[in-house]
Amino acid sequence: MFSILFVVILIGASVYFIYPPAKSTRLGLDLKGGLSVLLTAKGTKEAPVTEDSMEQAMIIIRERVDKIGVAEPQIQRQGTNNILVQLPGIKDPQKALSIIGKTALLEFKPVISATEDKIELGETLMTGKALSDASVSFDQMNKPKVDMKFTTEGAKQFEDITGKMIGQKLAIVLDGKVMSAPTVQTKISGGSAEITGSFTVEEAKNLALVLQTGALPINLEISENRTVGPTLGRDSLKAGLIAGTVGLILVALYMVFYYRGLGLITTMALIVFGTLFWGLIAIFGKAYLWTLTLPGIAGIILSIGMAADSSIVIFERFKEEVRAGKTMRMSADTGFKYAIKTMLDADFVTLAAVVFLYFLAVGPVRGFALTLIMGICVDLFTAFFFTRPMLAYIAQFKFFNKPLFLGVKEAGR
């Protein structure tokens, strides 16, 4: 009874984490809809692809995504030079594309000569590393502009540069494109500068955002981008939930039909398994360690089948002990001891395979592996702490202690 009470407490805790259901589970891109972008790093002599540069690029991309306001983004390495960015539920994919992979290399260069067709620039005098902040404001003509603030060291450097370039043009260059090239009228000592141009308010906001997060240390190109509509995501989720529910009901009906009273124990065990499994999923989701995807739903359905299979192994061994002439109570105890060896062998082999898959795979396949790992662990827990004590408990009562009720025949019959 202690085991049953312990399980009841865990069920209560699981329900606490599950409720409300709509908010307890993090949905992946294929179920919620959104944007998936694969960025590939292209190294140069000046900016080669290294482990540090890739890690720094991921940090900057995450900062940009956070500023866009996307909830629960997924940003992860794929291989040595790829970064996968998944933004579930994003409403403006084009805006995200224009921001995520933008290098945003800001440079201040002197203008050597300029014609209508061509502008010749000198060496870089200063970069965006000297910036501390960037924001959007409006000029006297109510046109948007980007105000830049420098660090203490950057302000001193900018003051020295403008002091030496009075009467000359200083170009503000972003990713190789001249944004503006004003003539320096006087030494600028305020620690600030501005970028003006013919851009919209939204473009100015995006520019300020990428300047705030800094330039990417390497060039990133969009190798692949995929947009999943919210309607398609909802349809996929609905189909997955229907498949899982139908599978659970069919398994329960079969177990009751074939094992009779024992099938009722299986049905209760599946309910316990499902509640604890969902609770564990909710906890992992809240900790940002797991996201529900279509492969994840496949892992859940497979876990349900494995949980039912565990009950079958236990009950078949139990029936063999009864046929051998042992009492119901002794059959319950001995049958489980023999059955658990088979269960552990099968589950540990599967567990070893999916753990190996988890550490080698990426993306949805890794989610499938993690789902199956959780399912196996919950299955073993349910077998030890619910199915075994429940079987031993009902074997004590004469009402339940009937071979036909339990779907078995005693020896000699």
223 and 76 share one domain:
yes
Q: Which of 302, 330, 315 minimizes the C-alpha distance to 269?
A: 315
Burial class (CB in 10 A: 0-12, 13-18, 19+), 73: buried
Q: Which long-range contacts (CB under 8 A, 24 or more apart) does 175-179 make?
A: 175/102, 175/103, 175/104, 175/105, 176/105, 178/119, 178/121
264 and 388 share one domain:
yes
**Contact (CB, 8 A) for 376 and 344:** no
365 and 296 share one domain:
yes
| Confidence band for 380, pLDDT divided at 50, 70 and 90 | very high
Could you tell me the two tokens for 54?
């890739």
Asked if residue 115 is part of any domain, the answer here is yes
**Contact (CB, 8 A) for 308 and 255:** yes
168 and 188 share one domain:
yes
Asked if residue 151 is part of any domain, the answer here is yes
Could you tell me the two tokens for 62?
């995450």
Could you tell me the two tokens for 398?
């004469």
Q: Which of 89, 88, 96 minimizes the C-alpha distance to 39?
A: 96
Asked if residue 208 is part of any domain, the answer here is no
| Confidence band for 350, pLDDT divided at 50, 70 and 90 | very high
CATH code for the domain in which residue 246 is found:
1.20.1640.10
22 and 40 share one domain:
no
| Confidence band for 1, pLDDT divided at 50, 70 and 90 | low
Distances (CA, A) of 1 to 19, 77, 115, 390: 27, 48, 89, 8
- Asked which of 19-23, 124-128, 221-225 is least confident by mean pLDDT, the reply is 19-23
Q: Which of 361, 96, 67, 366 minimizes the C-alpha distance to 226?
A: 96
167 and 257 share one domain:
no
Cα angle at 386 between 380 and 388, to 5 degrees? 85
290 and 258 share one domain:
yes
385 and 236 share one domain:
yes
CATH code for the domain in which residue 121 is found:
3.30.1360.200
Q: Which of 299, 364, 373 minimizes the C-alpha distance to 76?
A: 364
Q: Does residue 5 carry a pLDDT above 50?
A: yes
Expressed as residue numbers, the domain containing 163 is 106-201
Asked if residue 209 is part of any domain, the answer here is no
Asked if residue 206 is part of any domain, the answer here is no
> pTM of whole model > 0.75?
no
Q: Which of 397, 84, 329, 400 minimizes the C-alpha distance to 220?
A: 84
Asked if residue 411 is part of any domain, the answer here is no
Rounded mean pLDDT of the chain?
A: 85
Asked if residue 210 is part of any domain, the answer here is no
pLDDT digits (tens, 9 = 90+) for 263-303: 888 889 989 999 999 999 888 888 777 878 888 888 988 99
54 and 6 share one domain:
no
56 and 135 share one domain:
no
53 and 22 share one domain:
no
Instruction: Give the Cα separation of 120 and 113 in Å (integer).
Output: 5
20 and 39 share one domain:
no
Q: Please count the other Cβ atoms lying within 10 Å of the Cβ belonging to residue 336.
A: 23
Asked if residue 212 is part of any domain, the answer here is no
Q: Does residue 129 carry a pLDDT above 50?
A: yes
Buried b (16+ CB within 10 A) or exposed e, 105-117: bbbbbbbeeeeee
Position 413 scores a pLDDT of 46
pLDDT digits (tens, 9 = 90+) for 24-69: 677 777 777 788 889 999 887 777 888 888 998 999 998 888 888 7
Instruction: Return all residues near 211 (Cβ < 8 A) that are at least 6 apart.
Output: 104, 106, 128, 131, 134, 146, 148
Position 33 scores a pLDDT of 79
Provide the number of structural domains found in the chain: 3
Q: Which helix (H) or strand (E) holds 114?
A: strand 106-114
Q: Which of 286, 288, 287, 310 minimizes the C-alpha distance to 375?
A: 310
